[in-house]
Amino acid sequence: MMLAMDFSIADCAIKDKMDRFETLKELIMRFSPAAIGMSLMLALVSSGLNAVQRDDVISARALVYVGQAKVAIDDQNWQLAIDNLETALALHPRNANAYNMLAQIMEKQGLLGKSIRYYRESLDIDPNGQEALIGQGLVYVKRGAVERAKDNLSRYEFLCRKKCDAKEKLNLAINTYGMEKAKPVEDVQLRPTAKAQ
């Protein structure tokens, strides 16, 4: 009988351990999908944050091409400058400065539509880009879109809190736009008509 009792006590102890093991197993099974889901979500969020930080940093290779473009601009070698800037943008497409430089080159070549487009690309990257706002405003004046230039001027005035030299340049271009189109009366020469001769 003693032997039978020992087995029953041992059975109870084993059964109790197995129940605890089953409870632990159930607990792990119950929470493991949630734990896996949370760890996956944290991994995705942290990698997404790293991608945003890396997007703002311009690569060293892209900066080298921008530097070479500046030298080409100083030499007025427009095609070499364009090639270098396009290579810089291929390496880092969110380089607002490269778009500004391309816009300036296009303006110097008389391609005002392309210039406006490149300034727009720059402003898409950096909506508060003061150089792009003024440059685009000046090109708008050259194309006759004075109201759009005034919009750029008002945005620039809102952003620029201290000394704003470029504001005066755009303001002067806007105010003198109509004067360039109209000829003074003294400059108009009267031609004799056929009847007067």
- Res. 102: pLDDT tops 90: yes
Q: Which amino acid is at 120?
A: R
More confident: 135 or 48: 135
Q: Which overall architecture, per CATH, does domain 98-178 show?
A: Alpha Horseshoe (1.25)
Type of residue found at 97? N
pLDDT at residue 181 in the model: 55
Residue 4 has pLDDT above 60, yes or no: no
3-state secondary structure 5-64: HHHHHHHHHHHHHHHHHHHHHHHHHHHHHHHHHHHHHHHHHHHHHHHHHHHHCCCHHHHH
| Residue 76 confidence (pLDDT) | 94
CA atoms within 13 A on the CB side of 11: 6
Average pLDDT score over residue span 157-164: 83
Higher model confidence: residue 173 or residue 181?
A: 173
Q: Does the structure show a pLDDT above 50 at 33?
A: yes
pLDDT band for 190, please (50, 70, 90 cuts).
very low
Choose the most confident range, by mean pLDDT, from 11-15, 82-86, 186-190: 82-86
| Region for residue 121 given its phi and psi (left: phi exceeds 0; alpha: psi -120 to 50; beta: otherwise) | alpha
> Cβ of 35: how many Cβ atoms within 10 Å?
10
Looking at per-residue confidence, does 167 or 47 come out higher?
Answer: 167
Residue 189, pLDDT > 50, answer: no
